[in-house]
Structure 1
């Protein structure tokens, strides 16, 4: 009988989290990219992204050739450093970026986005997939 769960020996990232919890956040890819929910519905896609502390003007959303790209910039508050000594800084400051391929059957002209309370919501409607016309080929 083992007292250590078998999974813990094989999950290196979990072992690393427990051994060095503060270092993991500096090298984790998730820190540099927002948390995303991507839901496919019958009539389109709904994408929600958590962007806490980001201003609406610092967000760039682009859709081209079926690929959706979300970019955001979180800027440092310089005034805070002038008024006191920074003892610990864990909040990420820099550029966030995520991209997804949604396919060619999306209406690029009818995409809507909103930003409320640090959550970006993007609605991407689909178009009816047209079947290619079949053509009979004569054999000679």
Structure 2
């Protein structure tokens, strides 16, 4: 009896459709409750203030940078990816679509005019440049 129950449980959890369902449920929970995090680095030079947003899997057309006011920007990134796998031998088609949206407010260190802000995207990094408004005093 114990072996039969053990065998039934093993076969129940070995069922491929159940595994697929559990995998899909796990993926749904992960995507729903795990917000996409956008790490930000800041650098300053005597000439400019540089904000670097690390968004490695984003595409240029999915990135939107909005000027909210003279001290805040709103960065939104849309990840929209579709994959398709075709197994001609088994006549199976697997399609998957991933859609995520991340938003981040970027607070500027001082008021800046919209025309003074320059942004570029390369190698998974959004680089935002502002003119330096701080005065650095040389220390002797």
TM range (shorter): 0.5 to 0.7
Query: What residue in structure 1 maps to residue 105 of structure 2?
Result: 99
Q: How far apart in 1 are the matches of 2:45 and 2:30?
A: 33
**SS of the counterpart of 2:61?**
helix
In structure 2, stretches of 5+ residues that fail to align are: 1-26, 87-91, 136-140
* Aligned alpha-carbon RMSD (Å): 3.3
Q: Tell me the residue number matched to 1:53.
A: 57
TM-score (norm 2): 0.55
Q: Could you tell me the TM-score, scaled by structure 1's length?
A: 0.55
Whether the aligned pair in 1 keeps the contact of 2:80 and 2:100 (CA below 8 Å) is: yes
**Structure 1 stretches of at least 4 aligned residues deviating more than 3 Å after TM superposition:** 22-29, 40-44, 78-83, 126-129
Task: Give the one of 70, 90, 94 matched to 1:84.
Answer: 94
User: Which residue of 2 is the match for residue 110 of structure 1?
Assistant: 116
Structure 1: gaps (5+ residues):
1-21, 130-140
Say which structure is richer in strand.
2
Residue 33 (structure 1) aligns with: 37
Deviation at 1:71, TM superposition (A): 0.8
